[in-house]
Every structure is written in structure tokens, then in C-alpha cells.
Amino acid sequence: MQAVIQTKKLGKRYGSFWALENCDISVPEGSVSALVGPNGAGKSTLLKLLVGLKSASSGEISVLGKEPVQHADFLGDIGYLAQDIPLYKNLDATEHLKMGVNLNKRFDAEFMGKRLKDLQIPLDRPVGKLSGGQRAQVALALALAKKPKLLLLDEPVAALDPLARHDFLSSLSQAVADGGLTVVMSSHLLADLERVSDHIVVLASGRTQLCDDIETVLKEHKILIGPRKDERELGEGLTVIHETHTARQSTLLTRVVKGAKVPSDWQQHEPNIEEIILAYMGQGNEGVVR
């Protein structure tokens, strides 16, 4: 699979503060990638760098084979939903559709119109007066009607109630199922991401902590439980991500590279993706693990 997004040592600095530093990610074509990390980890910054709304301070960045630029050809292939889903509040859904036609060379107005109708969104009411869920659907329809190759979503479901969230994610899954679309979506709601994504990027403190297929991630991580042991050297191919200790027992969330042997004195358990993500998110400044 080809990488739609590839960054190398990507960095973004605001004054003396590095919001993103040495960020290496790779997102394969056709994947739905979950971008997770604590507040201030640099998720929004990364997404804005990818769509060219911000420019990088250091490192390399390649999106759809190009460096992000303020150019119609580049932007035409990308759908982007900013945080808080900004729309023109006094314009109605139909007018947003017309805007899409106005501002894009390639825009499937019919698709958007049908989609809004199917979702029973009031077409002639200013979007400022729609519910949060309806607004999110209008924004998603607008982004999808561009027929983008890459869709970048910055916490699209954060403000939505559970039902609206469910509807939004269903719409998204359906669009992905139609094919030809790669999605990167940031969120705090791990359970939701797990439902729709097959790839994961964990950012913490401006650095990539994890970037891989969810399947691989699940396969390569084990919870090891054994007698108390403070040193973290377990052997070749084993990296401890997170450890908890009681007086007599150590619990280690460990990355086990394919083929590596786990010492027989450890009990092995399968962690779920949420446990793994939380372990990486807590890792913070302890260095990049890939």
C-alpha cells in the first residue's frame, strides 16, 4: 500500500514552543486513521500542516505525493473539517452547496443535495440555526462532495450528542466503503475511533508515539504480569511502554516485535486497543517509539 501521508521529522514551532517536533507518520492509502493524543499534543497543528493552513518549521511533509500548497489542484483533492466545524452561520445548506460549486472545479452538487435530503437536513434554514449534528452533516457532505482522495477531520464529533455522533460516524463509514478515500480523524473518543478506524497515530507532547495498523498494534502488544521487577530490560525485541507495580507484582504493557521471545516467567494477556493507546498517551516525553 502506498502512503498518502508521509512526514519526516516534521516540526512546528510557535515562538520558542514546539507544538510538534520530530513527527514521523505514515498513513497508507485507503485507511481510516485515528489521530489521538492528549490536549495540546499537536493534533490540530498536524492536520493544519497537512492541508496547508499552516506551514512547517522543520522537516518534510508529503500529502498525496505533494508538499501542501495553497493551490487549487492540491486543495481540490482534500476534504478538511476544522475543529468546531465552522460554516457560514447565516447561509443555509443550499447556499453552502452553491458555495462548494463556486469554489471547486470538481464538485458533485447532486451528491451533496441528495445526501442532505436523505439526512432530512432543513435546506433553507441558516446553518447557525441547525443542531450541532445537522451542522456536522452539512460540513461532511460539503467535504465529501469534493470527491476528495483524503479527508482530514479535526475532532468532528466532539460537540455532538451520542446519537448525532453515531449518525455522523455511520455516514463516514459509508463514504469510506464507497472507496477511494483515505481518512485521518482526530478525536478523544477512543471507543468511536475504534469502531471506524483501522490505523492509529498517537501523538503526545508534540511527538509521534505510535503509528501503525490497529491489527498489527494489537498483535504486537502484550500485557505481561510477573514477579516484581524494576529494571525494564526484558530481552531482544521487547519494549516496555507502560508499567505498574505492586509490592510483589509488575504489570508491563510491552511491545513485542514479531518473532521476539517473551521470557517464560511472565504471564501474557491480550490488551485492548484502548489500553494500548492510553499507555502510549501517558508516555509523553519518554521518547519516540516506532
Partner 1 sequence: MNWFLWRQHRKNFLVIGILLALYTALVIPTGLHFWHTYQHALTACAQNPADPNCSEPQLGLFQSSTDQLLFHLLPVTILFLPIVLGIFWGAPLLAREYAEGTNGLVWTQGTSRHKWLTVKLTWVLVATAVFIGVFAALMTWWSNTPNTLNMDRFNDVFFSSQGILPVAYALFAVTSGIMFGAWFKKTMVAAGVTLGLFIALALIAVPNFVRPHYMAPVTVVAQMGPAAVDSKIPEGANWLLSRNIINQNGEVVQDIFSSAPAQCQKIIQQMQIGTSAGGNRVKAVPGGGDSIDACLNKAGWHQIATFQPSYRYWDFQRIEAGIYLALTVLAVGATYLLVLRRDA
Interface with partner 1 (CB under 8 A), residue from 25, 36, 61, 75 = 75
Could you say which residues in the range 14-43 bind partner 1, by CB under 8 A? Answer: none
Tell me the number of residues near partner 1 by CB under 8 A: 35
Cα separation of 220 and 192, whole Å? 22
Interface with partner 1 (CB under 8 A), residue from 22, 62, 83, 251 = 83
Residues 6+ apart with CB under 8 A from 239: 254, 255, 289
Q: What's the full length of the chain, in residues?
A: 290
Cα separation of 153 and 83, whole Å? 8
* Dihedral sign computed on CA atoms, order 159, 168, 6, 78: negative
For position 55 contacting partner 1 by CB under 8 A, the verdict is yes
Minimum CB–partner distance for residue 132 and partner 1 (Å): 15
Interface with partner 1 (CB under 8 A), residue from 3, 99, 159, 289 = 99
For position 109 contacting partner 1 by CB under 8 A, the verdict is no
For position 53 contacting partner 1 by CB under 8 A, the verdict is yes
Interface with partner 1 (CB under 8 A), residue from 1, 65, 66, 103 = 103
Neighbour tally for 95: CB within 10 Å: 16
Cα separation of 97 and 124, whole Å? 11
Interface with partner 1 (CB under 8 A), residue from 105, 120, 177, 191 = 105
Give whichever of 75 and 136 is closer to partner 1, judged by the CB atom: 75
Interface with partner 1 (CB under 8 A), residue from 87, 112, 175, 224 = 87
Give whichever of 139 and 252 is closer to partner 1, judged by the CB atom: 139
Give whichever of 72 and 257 is closer to partner 1, judged by the CB atom: 72
For position 159 contacting partner 1 by CB under 8 A, the verdict is no
Could you say which residues in the range 125-144 bind partner 1, by CB under 8 A? Answer: 139
E-state strands within the chain:
3-14, 17-23, 26-28, 32-36, 58-63, 78-81, 150-154, 182-186, 199-204, 207-213, 221-227, 238-245, 249-256, 267-269
Amino acid letter at 182?
T
Asked if residues 190 and 239 have their Cβ atoms less than 8 Å apart, the reply is: no
Give whichever of 19 and 175 is closer to partner 1, judged by the CB atom: 19
